[in-house]
Structure 1
Amino acid sequence: MKAAYEHVDFGANCSVRIYHRRLPRIPFEWHHHPEYELTLTMNSQGKRYIGDSVSVYGDNDLVLVPPDMPHTWASNLSIDPSSSQVAIVVWFDDTWVRRLADLCPEYSDLRSLLRRAVCGLVFEEGSGAQMHRYLDRLLSENARERLGAVLDILVWLADLPATPLASPSAFVARVGAPSGYEPEQLNRVLSLIETQFERPLPLATLANAAGLSERSLTRHFVQHLGESVGQYIARVRIGHACRLLADTALPISVVAARSGFSNIANFNRQFKAAKLLTPAAFRQQFKEARRVEAEASPSLLERPPSLEIKRAPATRGAERGRQRRAL
């Protein structure tokens, strides 16, 4: 199931885009875009799909999604049936934040936030409720006040505990790619893993590429990535397999081979250990979510109303005005 491309229009005079979405239920709309997305979901519970991560979410779910990572929320229940489900969405550009951090030492911590968010982040329980204190400013009619609120939120999130969501290499090439913040020797190894993960990657080969001893390379991985070389490679391979399972109808044996697993039994075992599902069950989750959405909303034969697909300028502008209430 290919993720749809979403075009996010910031407007001529805005550095960030805010979207205040209110609706009876949040539909399954598997999509991606080149901007970071911070989403606070309220009065809603269901399943959250971020790359290859599929999790149950509840009220005040607060998640940061990296650029080009396919994602969607799909609700099955409103916590208060008398009120709308709400998603407050903040989009911002990667280059904008990095330049801000380079120019203003006060925002240097934002680099670490972006680095942590390379696989997506769900912030600790209670953080979504704490974010409510920013909402008046975030939804202001004044663009400068909205921008100030976004900066305050990002600085606050930079120090907040959060859990990574997707695996490296899940759906997009940039996940697991060198970030520019690890030592250059480690970056060379990450690049090699990213491009050659479908082949055998002995530790000796990787250490030679880095110009390090095997022991030093292992120490670098644990220090900078928090896991062993073998664990990282396995996560990259599983992430790639998840993308193939969600995006293609390839037989599972072919998915295993293209993801670096020569033995399908070993692939099934490692996949289930990582995802708590068999490969077939993981694929079925995406099929089922799409089927339920199609049955519930026949209008989804058209593009989902939350997605601004690039079309002719006049058509896109008319559709955007009709389908979105955005700031």
Structure 2
Amino acid sequence: MKPQYERVTMPDGCSVRVYHRQLAQIPFEWHHHPEYELTLTMNSRGRRFVGDHIAGYDGDDLVLVPPDMPHTWSSTERIDTDAPQVAVVVWFSGDWARRMADCCPEYAPLHKLLRRGAPGLSFGPTAAATMRARLQALLDASPRVRLAAVLDTLVELADADALPLASPSVHVNAGHGSRRPIPSGDALARQSTSSEAERLNRVLDLLDRRFNEPLRIAELCAVANLSERSLHRYFIQHVGESVGRYLGRLRIGYATRQLTDTGWPISVIAAKAGFPNLANFNRQFMATRGMTPSAWRRFFEMHGHTPQAAAGQPTLETRSPSLERARNRSKAS
């Protein structure tokens, strides 16, 4: 059984992503992604799978999962049957955490947390209670408030009591295509999954760097060493949308930031975002953001913040499109 590759995207203007999940039952969704994941599971009882580690969990369960390690939770019951099961998930980049630790001595403990977190960590009840106490800030509407709460939590966890999860043979080559066991105890077919992720990441990196240029599909296929049909299939499966739609979101996201961060004319912003036709830019911006670029800028100037409800941004309750599509396919079959 191959773990599903999850494409975690950071909302515009955010360094980390927080996901607030509430549901009747936590399903088994064996997956991995290149970000660190800190998950607090509440009002839930079941089994937790991290690499080759399998254990029961109960109550407030706080776990740090390292990059590219397959993992999932699978619940068996709610502790309070009148309330939903809840998972508060924080995704963050290891590179980002290291930069924060390097430039700010207050966050130097992040280096220790990342070192300790290589096999995955299960924290004790005191650490879980500390994170639970910060839920209001972690789920705040303001990205700055959420970021401060995440940083404070991570720094405290650097020295918190925790048990390592996956065995050394599983995490020693994490992120480099190593093979990892799956919950059944059989060897996990990591090579093909790693190859898919690496190919897709090469395409995503090219799109992120050159989104404002006219890119041909043949160039993307060459970078991934895939046929056009395979590239389209990989993108839909792992990212949850087509190449064109993803590229359009990158361009609109860049333009949105320039509308609030600069005084450039809208025609200049459109050109720099990769839209040589201003009318086409206005149409796509309206379709994505729910208002024209000029109205967006006026709203920001009047209120001091962007109209988040119309921003088309993932909310705290929005899950990754790649996993959502995978779950829907599973239901259909």
TM over 0.5: yes
Going from structure 1 to structure 2, the CA distance change for 1:320 and 1:55 (only over 3 Å counts) comes to farther
1:93 and 2:93 matched: yes
1:162 and 2:154 matched: no
SS at match of 2:106: helix
SS at match of 1:11: coil
Going from structure 1 to structure 2, the CA distance change for 1:123 and 1:133 (only over 3 Å counts) comes to same
Structure 2 counterpart of 1:325, which letter?
A: T
Distance in 2, matches of 1:3 and 1:241, equals: 9
1:128-143 correspondence to structure 2 within 5 Å = 128-143=128-143
Distance in 2, matches of 1:80 and 1:241, equals: 30
Cα shift at 1:173: 2.5
Distance in 2, matches of 1:311 and 1:98, equals: 31
Distance in 2, matches of 1:45 and 1:38, equals: 18
Distance in 2, matches of 1:309 and 1:124, equals: 34
TM-score after normalising by structure 1? 0.58
Distance in 1, matches of 2:148 and 2:313, equals: 25
- Deviation per CA, 1:9-68: give whole Å up to 9, x if none: 102210000000000000000000000000000000100000000000011100000000
Identity of aligned residues (%): 50
1:247 and 2:188 matched: yes
User: Can you give the 5+ residue segments of structure 1 that lack an aligned partner in the other structure?
Assistant: 178-193, 196-236, 249-306
Going from structure 1 to structure 2, the CA distance change for 1:20 and 1:246 (only over 3 Å counts) comes to farther
1:72-87 correspondence to structure 2 within 5 Å = 72-87=72-87
Going from structure 1 to structure 2, the CA distance change for 1:320 and 1:308 (only over 3 Å counts) comes to farther
Q: Which runs of 4+ in 1 moved over 4 A?
A: 239-244, 313-324
Distance in 2, matches of 1:135 and 1:162, equals: 20
Distance in 1, matches of 2:316 and 2:14, equals: 20
Structure 2 counterpart of 1:94, which letter?
A: G
Distance in 2, matches of 1:142 and 1:168, equals: 39
Distance in 2, matches of 1:125 and 1:57, equals: 12
Cα shift at 1:154: 0.6
Check the 8 A contact 1:171/1:243 in 2, yes or no.
no
SS at match of 1:95: helix
Check the 8 A contact 1:171/1:240 in 2, yes or no.
no
Distance in 1, matches of 2:25 and 2:49, equals: 16
Cα shift at 1:322: 11
1:42 and 2:42 matched: yes
1:257-276 correspondence to structure 2 within 5 Å = none
Going from structure 1 to structure 2, the CA distance change for 1:122 and 1:323 (only over 3 Å counts) comes to closer
- What residue is the counterpart of 2:5 in the other structure? 5
Cα shift at 1:167: 1.1
- What residue is the counterpart of 2:280 in the other structure? none
- What residue is the counterpart of 2:26 in the other structure? 26
Going from structure 1 to structure 2, the CA distance change for 1:308 and 1:45 (only over 3 Å counts) comes to farther
Check the 8 A contact 1:69/1:172 in 2, yes or no.
no
Distance in 2, matches of 1:79 and 1:314, equals: 44
Going from structure 1 to structure 2, the CA distance change for 1:29 and 1:246 (only over 3 Å counts) comes to farther
TM-score after normalising by structure 2? 0.57
SS at match of 1:119: coil
Going from structure 1 to structure 2, the CA distance change for 1:82 and 1:36 (only over 3 Å counts) comes to same
- Deviation per CA, 1:173-213: give whole Å up to 9, x if none: 327x9xxxxxxxxxxxxxxxx99xxxxxxxxxxxxxxxxxx
Structure 1 counterpart of 2:241, which letter?
A: R
- Deviation per CA, 1:237-260: give whole Å up to 9, x if none: 9x6698981525xxxxxxxxxxxx
Give the superposed CA RMSD: 3.3
Check the 8 A contact 2:69/2:174 in 1, yes or no.
no
SS at match of 1:247: coil
- What residue is the counterpart of 1:118 in the other structure? 118
Going from structure 1 to structure 2, the CA distance change for 1:321 and 1:150 (only over 3 Å counts) comes to closer
